[in-house]
């Protein structure tokens, strides 16, 4: 009633007002829709921004160090660049050296039986130095090598690992895993942990700590540490010693606390180091021939 009796006559009388009113409404509607579109676009951009897990380098699971922190460069900004000293060797020597290195590395085996014969500390230091020459994400060198020769500490480490490994083998690992390990004849007994003269524990630093207490991002810290471990294995072989690449399942926190390592360090590997025992055996394994794992595009 009000509409027909009041509003329509009013509009008819003031029809000139109608045109600017409609135009204003249309203008505001267009603006509103534009703002909506922009906000959706902004959200999409935020969502599609790659989130990097700096431990593994994978694109998922961004860690808490990524976006909102006070960013500090890993190295000084005006780092000088110096000429690279390179000494070229002739092709024949190159072929010979690469072949000899391969032949030496092909003798490397994982050893689970150790003699307690002491190893000169200097050799151990050189091996660890070699491991420290590894490349690392943005040269963050995210590794800590803890070298244990103290017998009491070795016993404590063995206790922690054997207790956990017992639960691993009997409850956590499951039939598939324990069946796969049968030919290798490993179980929860780890006498080498007290027999080898050295236990080397490699911790990955998931982030670094700056002197002012702020955190430094350790890009690809796990990959960097794994490369470093590879150099460690090669150095051990080159030195005429043996080791065992082991990853004690579920022992990380207890070992970190036993060895007083800070919270940013996580145990990656435990590598005993020494001579093999006289009666040491290894599983008779075959290695894949080159063309089973290398693809050449010439
Ligand atoms: C990441 C990784 C974890 C391993 N963990 C264990 C381990 O916990 N215990 C063990 O006895 N051997 C372990 N090994 C050793 C492998 O069983 C061994 O490298 C494999 O059987 C091949 O033998 P080889 O090293 O003598 O060539 C590990 C090896 C790697 C690379």
pLDDT (tens digit per residue) in 116-135: 999 999 999 999 999 999 99
Are 21 and 145 part of one and the same domain? no
Q: Which of 112, 237, 246, 282 to mutate to test the pocket of ligand 1 (most atoms within 8 A of CB)?
A: 246
Number of domains observed in the structure of the chain: 2
Ligand 1: residue whose CA is nearest its atom 20: 110
State the average pLDDT over residues 240-263. 97
Are 128 and 9 part of one and the same domain? no
Determine the Cα–Cα distance for residues 7 and 26; give it in Å rounded to an integer.
21
Read off the tokens for 3.
């509409």
Ligand 1: residue whose CA is nearest its atom 6: 246
Is residue 43 within a helix (H) or strand (E), and if so which, with residue range? helix 15-48
Residue of higher predicted confidence among 262 and 184: 262
- pLDDT bin (cut points 50, 70, 90) of residue 15 is low
Ligand 1: residue whose CA is nearest its atom 25: 110
Ligand 1: residue whose CA is nearest its atom 22: 110
128-167 residue pLDDT tens:
999 999 999 999 999 999 999 999 999 999 999 999 998 8
Are 9 and 128 part of one and the same domain? no
The SS3 call for residue 38 is helix
Are 251 and 138 part of one and the same domain? yes
Domain that holds residue 270: 111-280
Distance of CA 58 from the midpoint of ligand 1 (Å): 24
The answer to whether the CB of 224 falls within 8 A of the CB of 134 is yes
Contact partners, residue 65, CB within 8 Å, separation at least 6: 54, 207, 215, 217
Ligand 1: residue whose CA is nearest its atom 29: 245
Does 224 reside within a domain? yes
82-118 residue pLDDT tens:
999 999 999 999 999 999 999 999 999 999 999 999 9
Are 42 and 132 part of one and the same domain? no
**CATH of residue 186:** 3.40.109.10
Q: Which of 181, 225, 245 to mutate to test the pocket of ligand 1 (most atoms within 8 A of CB)?
A: 245
Mean pLDDT of the chain: 87
Regarding beta strands 242-243 and 143-148, do their DSSP bridges make them parallel or antiparallel, or are they unpaired? Answer: unpaired
Cα→Cα distances 297→10, 62, 157, 289, 294, Å: 84, 35, 48, 17, 10
Ligand 1, CB within 6 Å, residue ranges: 109-110, 112, 184, 186, 244-247, 282, 285
Does 68 reside within a domain? no
């Amino acid at each position: 009633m009000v509409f027909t009796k009041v509003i329509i006559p009013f509009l008819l009388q003031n029809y000139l007002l109608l045109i600017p009113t409609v135009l204003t409404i249309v203008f505001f509607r267009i603006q509103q829709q534009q703002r909506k579109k922009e906000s959706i676009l902004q959200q999409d951009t935020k969502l599609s921004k790659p989130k990097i897990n700096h431990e593994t380098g994978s694109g998922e699971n961004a860690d808490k160090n990524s976006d909102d922190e006070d960013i500090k460069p890993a190295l000084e900004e005006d780092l000088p660049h110096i000429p690279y000293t390179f000494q070229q060797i002739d092709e024949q020597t190159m072929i010979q050296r690469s072949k000899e290195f391969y032949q030496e590395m092909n003798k490397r085996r994982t050893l689970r039986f150790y003699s307690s014969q002491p190893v000169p500390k200097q050799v151990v230091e050189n091996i660890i130095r070699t491991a420290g020459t590894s490349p690392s994400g943005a040269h963050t060198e995210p590794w800590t090598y803890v070298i244990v020769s103290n017998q009491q500490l070795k016993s404590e480490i063995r206790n922690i690992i054997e207790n956990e490994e017992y639960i691993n083998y009997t409850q956590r690992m499951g039939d598939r895993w324990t069946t796969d390990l049968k030919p290798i004849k490993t179980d929860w007994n780890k006498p080498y942990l007290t027999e080898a003269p050295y236990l080397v524990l490699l911790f990955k630093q998931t982030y670094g700590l700056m002197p002012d207490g702020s955190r430094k991002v350790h890009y690809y810290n796990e990959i960097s540490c794994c490369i470093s471990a590879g150099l460690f294995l090669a150095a051990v072989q080159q030195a005429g010693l043996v080791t065992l690449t082991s990853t004690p399942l579920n022992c990380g926190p207890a070992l970190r606390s036993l060895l007083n390592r800070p919270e940013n360090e996580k145990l990656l590997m435990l590598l005993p180091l020494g001579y093999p025992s006289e009666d040491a055996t290894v599983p008779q394994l075959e290695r894949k021939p080159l063309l089973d794992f290398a693809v050449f595009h010439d």
